[in-house]
Amino acid sequence: MIGRALNGRYELGEILGVGGMATVYRGVDRQLGRPVAVKVLNGGLADDPRFAERFTLEAQHAAILVHPRIVTVFDSGVDQGFPYIVMELVHGRPLSHLIAESGVLPVERAVGIASAVLEALEAAHGQDLVHRDIKPGNIMITADGGVKVVDFGIARAGSSAGNLTQTAAVVGTANYLSPEQATASALDGRADLYAVGCVLMEMLTGAPPFTADTPVAIAFKHVSEYPVPVSVRRPDIPPALDAAILRLLAKNPADRPNDAGRARAELLGAVPGGAAADRTSELLGAATQLLPPVTPPPGFPQAAPAQPYVENNRTSLLPSLPSMDRAEAYEDREPARDRNPMLLAGIGAAVLAVIVAVAAFALTGGGSQARKSPAAAPAASSAPAASAEPSASPSAAPSPTASASASPSAGAKANPAGQIAQLRAAVAQTDVHRERDRQEDLLRVLDEATRDVAARRNDAAADALKDAQRIVADLSKKRAVDKGTASAWQNKLGSLINTLRDGND
């Protein structure tokens, strides 16, 4: 395609990026003499009416959105059977490149980027459009540090009776898929807010909330598991920001902010300092320094030519998970007594692997063994979840003696969601002999408390933790856990309950 002029007007140059549906070229508009980006549907997909329809809808949707945070669409057409879209040429790179290069981003920059994306979504939602595929690959970071959202290819009009997602398939990217998308349920703009929460967590920790070997397994986790608070991996996160991210990642859309504007206000309010009228630009500007070019000395090796960007987390068709009524999907349910304990052990393994090192330290109260390796906590806070998994081992579980020495104040300065996640990790790793059902009950109750904390329902969270205390007492009575471990857990739960009650005063 390089060198070809689509309909005699748009001359294609180098490839800028390759995605699951299309390839983006640097181009020139011969008629107006300006540089443009030209997105061409990949060969073979143009013959599939589903993809051709999505491509056409992308042009139509983006054309009605005029906003500085959204890439502008100039034109669209078909040349010899190849649909194409002509857009403004953004001088920058995808956020996914920045994350891959940096690992984790500073808090201010990550919140600034998320806030800018929410500005774009506020404009889109105002036109009754749900993007449905917010991810780092669809967020462009410009050369001057700005942010632009791209790819409205699977966006859907909220009031449209028909949509591109059928009950047999889900269109999206598994790592950033909201629970309602994964089950092909009715959705609105709050599905995009969930995706922003996933992206923000990835910017701050280097990994999205859930990972697994297959897209379907990841989608299942979005529906069935609760995310580990960011503070477990990044202790420098302000508690208010930690809670705001968990709100975005709430399973029930009703527990998320009502709209993009409110979500943006919560994120900006969670970052200390600054009184500028435009806090988003302030945060982005503070994190971006424009430096003059440096002339390399004679004989300095030339940089390799830039390679086209290839999107790894590609938009794809996924089978939908079993559909559930909203009440059934999100209401609290009585614990199941007949579940397979091996299945329970598998569910949540990825989450536990990430937080095991931090949990061991927190629940030992900073014992002598933990003090021997002070670098362990920073490493856990900056490494992606995938790289943290191999380092987890059964030996990281707190010993009964160490657990008994845990002080209720050991994690007092941490936020409640982080403390609950640390306690959950210790509970999940403890051998409870033949009381696996009660262990499952305890884990379920701790998950409920985490959800309530994220939704700012402190009284409900405290009540759930009281239920957890009763279960721990029962486990101790049945000698499923030793007295030292049970005492440490009870102290931790009591401290958490007091913290939550004090937060309501």
DSSP output for 345-381? HHTTHHHHHHHHHHHHHHHTTS-HHHHT-TTHHHHHH
Q: Dihedral, CA atoms, 143, 148, 152, 153, nearest 10 degrees?
A: 10
Identify the active-site residue in 48, 128, 133, 213.
133
Q: For residue 156, what are the β-bridge partners?
A: 130
Annotated active-site residue 133? The verdict is yes
H-run or E-run covering 120: helix 107-126
Q: Is 466 annotated as a binding residue?
A: no
- Measured distance CA(449)–CA(466) in Å, rounded: 10
Cβ neighbors of 381 (< 8 A, separation 6 or more) are 205, 233, 234, 235, 236
* Cβ count near 95 (within 10 Å): 23
Cβ neighbors of 349 (< 8 A, separation 6 or more) are none
Backbone angles phi, psi at 419, to 5 degrees: -65, -40
Q: For residue 41, what are the β-bridge partners?
A: 22
**How many residues in total does the chain contain?**
505
* Cβ count near 433 (within 10 Å): 12
Q: Which of 475, 469, 450, 470 is nearest to 460 (CA)?
A: 450
User: 211 is written with which tokens?
Assistant: 């990972």
Binding residues for ATP: 39
Binding residues: 39
> Active-site positions?
133
